[in-house]
Amino acid sequence: GQQVQQSPASLVLQEGENAELQCNFSSTATRLQWFYQHPGGRLVSLFYNPSGTKHTGRLTSTTVTNERRSSLHISSSQTTDSGTYFCAIDNNAGAKLTFGGGTRLTVRP
Amino acid sequence: EAAVTQSPRNKVAVTGGKVTLSCNQTNNHNNMYWYRQDTGHGLRLIHYSYGAGSTEKGDIPDGYKASRPSQENFSLILELATPSQTSVYFCASGDAGEQYFGPGTRLTVL
């Protein structure tokens, strides 16, 4: 089945530093979604990005489909960025997403 | 953004008891999903549905049933709860693109 690997597993930054989160997957993705999970537990969709580059605010997602990888770049990190970031893949145009293990980000003031 | 709600938000159950987790979505999505998340892990798919009357097995369906009586509602049923089912359960809805998640239900089975 589809495998999704995220790296690093955890990351600690000082406020203002940039972060680069990686997602690698074993089969071509027809859907790819990045999520942020609040420390309280709610999952929020950041990007739906099966290919190309998308920006929103300080966040940029880049997916290179034929290399089976995606990245999430966070610029000028803030303490409120702390939480866990997940990428999730669907590779058969069906309904199912397979999640990576997540990257836990801590931004210190 | 799609509105997905779950009830209850917290539940304590006894081993061998029956537990029903409910999910409601108000954006007319065809697909709905149940996931569980365990400490330090990503989400794993339990059951999903393509529409009213349909349920499909996900990656870890054993010990769980699902029911989709209407477009808006999708339930997860634990007929005989076990301590290994202690977890946080998330419901989601979506169609061909993004999935939108509910706030989660924390279930503890004693």
Q: Would you state the pLDDT for residue A60?
A: 97
Instruction: List the domain boundaries for chain B.
Output: 4-109
By Cβ distance, the residue of B42, B56, B100 closest to A45 is B100
Between A95 and A64, residue with greater pLDDT = A64
Instruction: List the domain boundaries for chain A.
Output: 15-92
CA distance B104 to B92: 10
By Cβ distance, the residue of A31, A95, A99 closest to B42 is A99
Tokens 């054993």 sit on residue? B62
Contact across the interface for B42 and A101, Cβ inside 8 Å:
yes
Chain B: residue whose CA lies nearest to A33 = B98
Its CATH architecture, for the domain B4-109, is Sandwich (2.60)
What lies within 8 Å, CB to CB, of B64 at 6+ separation is B34, B46, B47, B76, B77, B78
At A53, is the pLDDT very low, low, confident or very high (cuts 50, 70, 90)? very high
Q: Would you state the pLDDT for residue B2?
A: 53
Average pLDDT over residues A28-38: 88
Tokens 């034929």 sit on residue? A66
- The CATH topology of domain A15-92 is Immunoglobulin-like (2.60.40)
Cis bond before residue B8 (omega within 30° of 0): yes
What is the nearest CA distance from B51 to chain A, expressed in angstroms? 11
Q: Would you state the pLDDT for residue B1?
A: 53
Q: Which residues of A touch B48 (CB under 8 A)?
A: 95-96
Query: Is the pLDDT confidence value at A90 over 90?
Result: no
Query: Is the pLDDT confidence value at A26 over 90?
Result: no
The DSSP result for B51-65, as a single string, is: STT--EE-SS-TT-E
C-alpha separations of B24 from A31, B34, B47, B48 in Å: 24, 12, 15, 14
Reduced 3-state DSSP string for chain A = CCCEEEECCEEEEECCCCEEEEEEECCCCCEEEEEEECCCCCEEEEEECCCEEEEECCEEEEEEHHHCEEEEEECCCCHHHCEEEEEEEECCCCCCCEECCCEEEEEEC
SS3 B84: helix
Query: Is the pLDDT confidence value at A67 over 80?
Result: yes
CA distance B65 to B40: 25
Mean pLDDT of the residues in chain A? 91
Q: Would you state the pLDDT for residue A17?
A: 97
pLDDT tens, N- to C-terminus, chain B (110 residues) = 559 999 999 999 999 999 999 999 998 999 999 999 998 678 999 999 999 999 999 989 999 999 999 999 999 999 999 999 999 999 999 987 788 999 999 999 99
Between A99 and B95, residue with greater pLDDT = A99
